[in-house]
Structure 1
Amino acid sequence: MEKNEPHGVIKLLHLKGYSARQIHDEMKIVYGDDCLSHDTVVKWKRNFQTGHMPLTDEPRTGRPSLTNSATTVNKVEDLILEDRRVTIHVIKHEPGLSYGSVWKIIHDELYMSKVSARWVPRLLTPLQRQTRRDLSRQMLTLLEQDEEDFFGRLVTMDKSWIYLNDLETKEMSKEWKHTISPPPKKAKVQKSAGKIMLMRDFLKKKCCGMLTKGVRLLADNAPAHSSQAAVVETRRCGYDILPHPPYSPDLAPSDFFLFPEMKNPLRGRLFGDTDDVIQVVEQWFSTQSEGSYNGGLRKVKKRWEKCGTLDGDYYVEKY
């Protein structure tokens, strides 16, 4: 249906002497759900009765739109770049701008949206980013020589705190509610003081000849792993220690695939003592297949690649 076609029908039936109600009823038979409303038919019939015969709306008066003005768009962009946290209510106080025009410029002209800052382990210096990038590329070079051999010889280990009473996550506390119902509330609770440190060798592959080929150990830079005594003992066992950049939990396999999966089912549970914690954690490890460890460990390749692509910046899933 052409834009002005219904107006022509109204004009024709008006000239035949039809009332607004009769015109609307006739148009409903032809156009069905696409028919103009009765009020619109009445408005156009009145126009024709007063001698206004054009089938298009007259130009509307009022302030001209400023959203297409390059000068106005640049002004809004400059204000945002000057203060990334500036609000639309502040920007609209500029001469000639309204809340609606500012919103339209930001979304339709600048293609910008306001998002919350994401937490990162550390605000990296240029040197730290370069170190992360270079070490990631170094690991990829080593991996590309023989990927199957690389992962076949790779062992990683880490440690993590397991609390006797660990809080549930915000995601876990979500509840369904009606639109008119008040949102659920919960008091802020501190984690329990009682806890136990579990150190676990994972990805222990029972592969014949692994020690003969030479074990490659990938661990983070925690003192328990990087102290002189630990390094000496590791090398005495004949292990190769792969370099790991500082402040890089996103590149440590345990931190991005093992511990989060292990701790999720423990959230919100209250344990009586450390023996209960140990039993539940050991049960969880016993249910994991060898394939889950292998698959999780191989994700480090993607992490190294992404670190290089991001010039050493942190990797998060949304990238």
Structure 2
Amino acid sequence: METPDFRFYFLIRIKLARTVIEIHGDMLSNFPDSCPGLSTLQRWHTEFDKGVFALEKKTRPGRPRETRTEENVARVKRLVENNPRMTSRKVAAEVSLPSSTVFRLLTEDLGLRNLLSVLVPHQFSEANKTQRVKCCQDLLKLFQDHGEDFLGSHLLVQDESWFYWDLAERRQVWAVLDPPCETDSEEDDDSDGAYLQAETQKDKIRLKDCLLMGQCTSPHCHRYREFLTRRDVEQVKQSPYSPDLSLCDRSLFRKLKHLLRGDEFGGHEEATLRGR
């Protein structure tokens, strides 16, 4: 029996002066698998007392109940792929769906989990590990050979980084559990921010007397290295995917990003001057 049938039967029994509990007992004994609950019958009894005798459910205006469609799943997937740091509330606002529905789309339909992103190299290869150890040994030998005073006045450090307008960036991301391991790489980010290049030194010195610690990621990297070689500039090698071994990443950029947080600039030149 369907709901209209049960409502009709319940209405007739009420008109015959039967109590709600008695009617529920009769229904339960005859239709144990589909019988409405006692609370449902009590609600129907209240509606009948108010003169509401409709057997069919009234059509309610508003958003359809079924919102977990393939189209909505695809829309949510595109948003989190473009920005994995979006909260479920922001995604819900973009797609005009309830936050609870979006959360189910993310976790159940897309199989994502809200994880805390950590800036660490992902699965070093054996070559990366060997190169990292060699880099640390070279840095230690460099310090032992030249001393602290010499490095303080002759070591040049060059690096670059993105400076975002709002550094309170959400560190939680939507990600698939146990994703395939990939090597980290530096990718462009189209978020609002300024790209600054840092070059630090203590005093003015001759180029051939300095040590340069930096990396070149431009397509003209070979020209950059040839230029330094012709001028007898000794380069301090860096280990790839190791921001903890970069002086700029460890100290300079962290301080600059804190000082420049929330500042607005008219152009790249103004941002560069402010960074200095």
TM-score bracket for this pair, using the shorter chain length: 0.3 to 0.5
Structure with more strand by fraction: 2
Q: What TM-score results when the alignment is normalised by the length of structure 1?
A: 0.38
